[in-house]
Structure 1
Amino acid sequence: MSPRSRSNQAGRAIAIVADIMASIIGLWILMYLLDANRANDFVQFIQDAARWLAGWSHDLFTFDEGWARVVAGYGLAAVVYLFLGHVIANRMYRHH
């Protein structure tokens, strides 16, 4: 396997991981906005995963409305993961 091929595979993997992380966070935002049943195991799993992924940003904003805090705090984490993941992946594609 050539170095370029390995770099492309690594870049693709990084982009996929970033997409999955952002998707989990996005799914939690959607579940929150739609008032999903938090007693449901799947909803709890998504909430826990999103809270872990967005631990650095989920209480970053202090809007009065809960939905605004969730959308802004978790949404920021999702955007950062997408942006950084794809920037890193694109750099890997171009450098090798």
Structure 2
Amino acid sequence: MNHRRSNTTQAARVISVVADVLAAIIGLWILMYLLDANRANGLVEFVQNVARFLAGWSHDLFTFDTAWARVVAGYGLAAVVYLVVGHMVAGRLLRRH
């Protein structure tokens, strides 16, 4: 039974870390966008592509007049959802066992 609890704890940690990493990637793209990072740079392009994939459902959800507000709101919403859902699932796993 102790082994089962250990596996559940590890799974919860993995879920939390994955949620944190996904949100961090999206947050990094928001920061790069706001700081006007060079989009021809390979790292910037990679982060933008990954963030766009992760936030595909929300990146153009809002129609603010200014582009920076659309990026912050659309991508920021995705980052918050990853954090909240990931940590809720991890918490539920820990409470279940």
- 1:58-86 CA distance string (max 9 Å, x none): 00000010000000000000000000000
The amino acid that maps onto 1:41 is: G
Residue aligning to 2:70: 69
Could you tell me the TM-score, scaled by structure 1's length? 0.98
Alignment of 1:12-27 (within 5 A): 12-27=13-28
The residue type paired with residue 43 of structure 1 is V
CA distance in 2 between counterparts of 1:46 and 1:9 reads 28
The whole-number CA distance in structure 1 between the counterparts of 2:65 and 2:9 is 45
How many residue pairs align between the two structures? Answer: 96
Q: Alignment partner of 2:70: what SS?
A: helix
1:94: how far off?
1.1
Query: Cα RMSD (Å) of the superposition?
Result: 0.7
Shift in Å, 1:91: 0.7
Superposition pairs for residues 14-93 of structure 1, below 5 Å? 14-93=15-94
Tell me the TM-score normalized by structure 2: 0.97
Percent identical among aligned pairs is 69
Shift, 1:7, TM fit: 0.4
**Distance in 1 between the 2:40 and 2:32 partners?**
12
Q: Which stretches of structure 1, 4 residues or more, deviate above 3 A after TM superposition?
A: none
Structure 2: 5+ residue stretches without partners: none
Letter in 2 for 1:82: L
